[in-house]
Amino acid sequence: MKKLIALLLALTMAFALVACGGNGDAGTGGEGGSGDLAGTYKVTIWCPEATVEMTKAQVAAFNSSNTMGITIDATVEPVSEADAATNMIQDVSAGADLFFFAQDQLSRMIQAGAVGKLGTSAAQFARDNNNAASILAAQSGTDLFAYPLTADNGFFMYYDKSVVPDSDVDSLEAIIADCEKANKNFSYELENAWYNAGVFFGTGCHSQWVTDNDGNFISIDDDFNSDKGLIAAKGIYKLVSSPIYVNSSNADFASGSAVVVTGTWNYATIKSQLGDNFGVADLPSFEVDGQSYHLGSYSGCKLLGVKPQSDAKKNAAINQLAQYLTGKDCQLQRAWDPVEGKTPNGQAENGGFGWGPSNKEALQDPIVTNNPALIALNAQNEYAVPQPNIHGSWWDIAKVITTDIKASDGSDAALKAALQKYADSIQAVFEISDEVKNAFTVIGSINGDSWSLDLPMTQDGDIWTSNEAYTMDVGVEFKCRQGMSWDVAYPADNFVVETAGTYKIQLNAATGEVTLIPA
C-alpha cells in the first residue's frame, strides 16, 4: 500500500507546476495550465500554535495570488513540530494534509506512508531554492520526501557581558574562569546527545546513520570511539567537572547563569533578561595538548510534509500550496525579528518568530543578516554538521557519554571506557531481536529515575500493561515507547501524574492512549 501511495504521488506530481512565492507560473511538470488545477480543495494544516494565524494569512495570500484557479479551504490546527509524526503515524488517514515537522521524524514518516517521494518537478523546486543542509534533511536514500521550511534548528552561545567580556568569547577555558570568578553558571545541555555530539564534530569525528529509500536504517559509520573522540571527551570533562556547569539549554540568566548554549527559540526571552548586557556569539574553542578545537554542533531544519492523496488534482494543488508556504516570502515573514518586529518592507510590525530560512534568497535578506541570533547561528553553522536521519535509540545511547565522563576521574582510561561503552551500544542496535523491537516499555522519572531505564510491559492484543505497579508522586512524567527507541512513543507530550498513588501503566497501542490503573 505504501509503495502504491508513493507511486501515485510521483505520478500526480507531474501536475505540480513549479511556483515560487505565489507567482503561479507554469513549470516544467506535466500538463500545466491554470485550468488543470482550478477548483476548491478542503485541506487540513498542522503547524505550531504560535504560527496558526500567520499560516491562515499565508494561505489566504496564496488563494488571491495564484493564477491557476486554486482555492484552498484550509482548517489550520495547532500541532507542534515535535508531535506531528506521532500523531500522523497513529492514523495517517485522519492526519493533516500538510504539516510542519522536525527533520528527525522523517524516517518514521516515510515508513508509515505519511509522506511520499516528491515528484521530479517538486524535488527540483526544493533543490533549486533551498540550501544544501536543508535538502539533506528532507532526503532519505537519494529521494526527497518533504519541503524545507527552515534551517535554524541549531545552537550557539548567549552570554552576560557583565560577566564574560567580548574578548573571552572565543575561549572555553576563559569563559569557565570568568564564570567561576563571578560564581555564575554555565548552562550547556551536554547530557543530551544533540548537544554533546557537537564536541566530537569539533575534533573531526563523524556519526552517520545510513538509510535506504524506504527509510530503514541499515548501518552506521561512527568514530566517536577513537583518538579524536578522546580529545572531545577531554573537552567535555573540562566543563562538566567545573562547579559552575549546569546541564540545561533553558533561558537560565534569571536563575544564575552567565552563559547559556541554546537556540533561536530563546532569543526574545534572553534578550529581555539581559537587557544592555545581552551578548550572543558562535560557540568557543577549547584546547587539548596545545591544540585548539572549535566546538561543533548539529544544524537542523523544520520540514513541511505533504500527505499522499488519492485525488491526483488535490495532490497537485496542495503541493502548489506547499511550495508557496516554503517560498522566499513566507519564510521571510516567519524570520521577522520577534523583538524588533521588522517586516520585509522595513516597517515596525509584530508577528515574526525569528525562524532562520532555508531559502537561499531569504538567507541573504537584511531581515536575516541583521538579526543577532541568526548572525550567531550562521557563524556557528560554519562548524556544524547537517543533522541526518538518526535511529531513535541513538539519543539515549549517546547522552550517556557525558553522564559517564562526568562521573569519571578524567583519566584517559576512564574516558576511553566511556567511549567504548558507547561504541558497543550503537553496534547492539543492529543485533536487537524482533521481540524487543516490537515490545513497548515505560521510561521516565518513575522511582526517581531520570529517563535512563526502560521498565517492561506485557502485551494482551493491543493493550500493553506494565509488569509492576509503581508508587508515583504528583508531577512524575513518563512515556511508553516501542523498541527502546523514540521512533514510536506515547503520548505525544509526556504523561504527567496528577494524583499521587500506586499504579500500573497501560497503553492502547492502537489508539496511543495511556492510562493509569490503580493497584
Per-residue model confidence as pLDDT tens digits over 379-435: 999 999 988 778 888 999 999 999 999 999 999 999 999 999 999 999 888 877 888
Q: What angle do CA 80, 82, 88 make, to 5 degrees?
A: 80
Mutual angle of helices 412-428 and 227-240, in 10-degree steps: 110
Residue 105 pLDDT level (bands cut at 50, 70, 90):
confident
Mean pLDDT of 177-197: 97
For cell 515535535, the residue is 82
Phi and psi at 46, nearest 5°, equal -105, 130
Characterize 400-438 residue by residue with b for buried, 16 or more Cβ atoms within 10 angstroms of its Cβ, and e for exposed.
Answer: bbbbbbbebeeeeeebbebbeebbebbeebeeeeeeeee
**Bridging pattern class, strands 217-222 and 207-211:** antiparallel
Is the pLDDT confidence value at 1 over 50? no
Q: Where are the beta strands (DSSP E) in 312-361?
A: none
Cell, residue 261? 548554549
Can you give the C-alpha Rg of the chain in angstroms?
A: 24
Structure confidence by residue, pLDDT tens digits, 276-293: 999 999 999 999 999 999
**Bridging pattern class, strands 185-187 and 257-262:** parallel
For cell 566543563, the residue is 239
Q: Distance (Å, rounded) from C-alpha 392 to C-alpha 484?
A: 8
% of the chain with per-residue pLDDT over 70? 91
Residue 332 and residue 367 in contact, taking contact as beta carbons nearer than 8 Å: yes
Structure confidence by residue, pLDDT tens digits, 151-183: 999 999 999 999 999 999 999 999 999 999 999
pLDDT of residue 30: 28
CATH of 434-518, one of 1.10.3470.10, 2.60.40.3620, 3.40.630.40, 3.30.390.50: 2.60.40.3620
Classify residue 19 by burial, with Cβ atoms within 10 Å: 0-12, 13-18, 19+: buried
Q: What is the mean pLDDT of the chain?
A: 88
Is the pLDDT confidence value at 449 over 90? no
pTM exceeds 0.75 for this model: no
Structure confidence by residue, pLDDT tens digits, 37-57: 999 999 999 999 989 999 999
- Topology alike, domains 2-152+301-368 and 156-296+393-429: yes
Residue 158 and residue 270 in contact, taking contact as beta carbons nearer than 8 Å: yes
Cell, residue 512? 496511543
Fold of 156-296+393-429: D-Maltodextrin-Binding Protein; domain 2 (3.40.190)
Q: How many CA atoms lie within 13 A of 111 on its CB side?
A: 16
Parse the chain into domains and list their residue ranges: 2-152+301-368, 156-296+393-429, 434-518
- Architecture of 2-152+301-368 per CATH? 3-Layer(aba) Sandwich (3.40)
Q: What angle do CA 215, 480, 469 make, to 5 degrees?
A: 155
Phi and psi at 190, nearest 5°, equal -75, -15
